[in-house]
C-alpha cells in the first residue's frame, strides 16, 4: 500500500506539472486539450499494437467508455472556462469540492452507506485549499483578479464546482470499469471519447468563445516537445496509472490526494521562476500557504487511520451478529 500511495503522489505531481506545460504551450486551452487527447489516444493505440495486446471490445462497452471520455473532456473544458470567467484562486476554490463530491457520489453509485468521516475530510480539504489559494499570489495576478466583476467570480465558482463534480463522477465510474478492462485499453477509449467530444464542441467554441479569431490549432517550435511530454507522461502514463491504482485504492482516496495538485503546481512554478524560465512570475508563499498545505496533508494522512478504524468496527459488528 505504501508503494501505491507513493506512486499516487508521483502521479499528482505530474498533474501539477500540467499547469507548467499549459503555460509553456502557446495554443489556447481547448485546442491544447484537443491535441492532448488526440496524441494520447494515438500513442496508446500504437503502444497496444506494439505489445500485441487487443484493443477492440463490444460496442456497448466501447460506448460506455467513450461516454466517460466525454465526461473527462467536459471536466477539462469547464475547468479552463472557470479560470477564464473568474480567477485562478476562485477556480481552485471550486475544485476543492472534489473530495466532497466523491464522498457523496461513490456511495450513491456503488450502493454503499455514506461514510461521514469521508464527508468531514472532504470539507477539511476545502478549508485547506481555500487557505492555500488565499495565501498565494503571483504578479500581476492580484490586479487581474480584482478586475473580474463579482458576478463573474460567482459564475466562475459555480462552473468550477460543476467541473469538480464531473471529475468525481468519472473517477467513481472508472473505479468500477477498471475491474472489467485493462487500464491502457480503458484509457485509450476514454481519450478517444474526450477527443471526439472536443471536436463536436469546436464549432460552438469557435463561434462564441474565440472572439472572432477562430481555432488556433497550429503548433510551433518547442510546442511539439511540450505537447508530447503532456500527452505521454502527464496523460498516457498518469491517467492510466491512476485508473490502475483504483483496483486497490478507492476513488475517494485518489481524489482526496488530487487536492495536493495545486500545491505541487505552485511549488513547481516557484522552481520555474528560480530557474528564470520566461513567463513565470515570482510566487510569494506566505505562512498561510504552509498552514493550508498541512491541513490538506492532514486530511490525506488521517484517512487510512479512520478507514482502518471503520473496518475494525464493522468487523466487530459482524462478529457480534454471527454470535447472536
DSSP bridge partners of 138:
283
Helices (H), 178-286: 183-208, 223-231, 238-245, 251-258, 261-274
Half-sphere exposure of 4 (CA within 13 A, CB side): 13
In order of 49, 143, 185, the CA distances from 56 in angstroms are: 11, 51, 8
Report the predicted TM-score, pTM, of the whole model to 2 decimal places: 0.77
Residue 138's pLDDT is 44
90: confidence class by pLDDT, cuts 50, 70, 90? low
**Nearest-angstrom CA–CA distance, 216 and 260:** 32
pLDDT tens per residue, range 186-210: 999 999 999 999 999 899 888 887 8
Burial degree of 166 (CB within 10 A; 0-12, 13-18, 19+)? buried
What gap in Å lies between CA 31 and CA 44, rounded to an integer? 20
- pLDDT tens for residues 2-41? 888 889 999 988 887 887 787 788 888 889 889 999 999 9
Report yes or no: 261 and 133 within 8 Å, Cβ to Cβ: no
Residue 137, strand partner residues: 284
- Alpha carbon dihedral 159, 161, 163, 168, in 10-degree steps, equals -170
Share in percent of the chain as helix, strand, coil (round to 5): 80, 0, 20
| Contact predicate 235/36, CB 8 Å | yes
Task: Output the nine-digit C-alpha cell for 150.
Answer: 463579482
What is the arithmetic mean of pLDDT over 77-85? Answer: 76
- Range of weakest confidence among 10-24, 63-77, 133-147: 133-147
Percent residues over pLDDT 90 in the chain? 17
Angle among Cα 309, 310, 313 to the nearest 5 degrees reads: 85
149-166 residue pLDDT tens: 555 567 877 888 898 899
Amino acid at each position: 500500500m505504501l508503494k501505491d500511495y507513493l506512486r499516487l503522489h508521483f502521479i499528482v505531481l505530474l498533474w501539477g506539472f500540467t499547469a507548467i506545460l499549459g503555460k509553456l504551450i502557446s495554443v489556447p486551452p481547448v485546442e491544447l486539450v484537443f491535441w492532448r487527447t488526440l496524441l494520447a489516444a494515438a500513442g496508446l493505440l500504437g503502444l497496444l499494437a506494439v505489445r500485441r495486446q487487443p484493443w477492440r471490445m463490444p460496442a456497448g462497452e466501447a460506448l460506455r467508455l467513450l461516454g466517460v471520455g466525454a465526461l473527462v473532456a467536459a471536466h477539462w473544458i469547464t475547468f479552463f472556462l472557470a479560470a477564464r470567467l473568474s480567477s485562478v484562486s476562485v477556480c481552485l476554490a471550486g475544485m476543492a469540492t472534489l473530495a466532497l463530491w466523491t464522498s457523496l457520489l461513490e456511495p450513491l453509485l456503488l450502493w454503499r452507506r455514506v461514510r461521514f468521516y469521508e464527508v468531514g475530510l472532504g470539507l477539511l480539504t476545502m478549508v485547506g485549499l481555500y487557505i492555500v489559494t488565499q495565501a498565494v499570489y503571483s504578479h500581476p495576478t492580484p490586479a487581474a483578479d480584482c478586475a473580474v466583476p463579482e458576478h463573474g467570480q460567482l459564475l466562475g465558482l459555480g462552473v468550477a464546482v460543476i467541473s469538480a463534480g464531473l471529475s468525481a463522477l468519472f473517477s467513481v465510474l472508472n473505479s468500477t470499469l477498471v475491474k472489467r478492462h485493462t487500464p491502457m485499453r480503458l484509457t485509450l477509449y476514454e481519450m478517444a471519447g474526450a477527443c471526439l467530444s472536443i471536436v463536436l464542441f469546436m464549432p460552438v467554441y469557435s463561434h462564441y468563445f474565440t472572439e472572432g479569431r477562430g481555432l488556433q490549432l497550429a503548433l510551433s517550435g518547442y510546442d511539439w516537445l511540450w505537447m508530447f511530454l503532456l500527452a505521454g507522461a502527464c496523460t498516457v502514463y498518469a491517467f492510466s496509472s491512476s485508473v490502475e491504482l483504483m483496483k486497490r485504492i478507492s476513488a475517494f482516496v485518489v481524489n482526496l490526494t488530487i487536492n495536493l495538485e495545486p500545491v505541487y503546481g505552485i511549488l513547481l512554478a516557484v522552481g520555474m521562476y528560480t530557474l528564470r524560465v520566461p513567463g513565470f512570475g515570482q510566487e510569494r508563499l506566505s505562512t498561510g500557504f504552509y498552514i493550508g498545505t498541512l491541513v490538506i496533508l492532514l486530511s490525506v494522512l488521517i484517512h487510512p487511520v479512520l478507514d482502518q478504524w471503520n473496518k475494525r468496527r464493522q468487523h466487530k459488528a459482524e462478529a457480534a451478529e454471527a454470535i447472536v
